[in-house]
Amino acid sequence: MLKDDWTQVRPEVEVKQVALPQGEETYILCRTAGRKEKEKAIRKRFSTRMEEALKGLGRRCCGEPAELVVNRQPVQVIRVVPFLDNLRQ
């Protein structure tokens, strides 16, 4: 996708028409200048949260358990599994 294949339709929006050679379908691709920064911020936020969760898991493994009281019973809490699921995607 060469830079000159894109057409600027708004100050920060570019589009490109792509026809598939094996079919009758045509795709319209769209990109914005701010999208790259947004994706970078999303990855940074995810990395920060993952590091905090792993540090918490490390503290728990070293004898500092995190506890939550549910119905007057202490429950140990680990919230790392959802982060690991996101890494697989």
- Element housing 60 (H / E): helix 33-61
What pLDDT does 76 receive?
57
**Full pLDDT tens readout for the chain, 89 residues:** 455 689 999 988 899 998 888 878 899 999 888 888 898 899 999 999 888 888 877 777 766 555 555 566 665 555 555 655 666 55
**pLDDT of the residue at 16:** 93
Angle, CA 44 vertex, CA 62 and CA 39 arms, to 5°: 150
pTM over 0.75: no
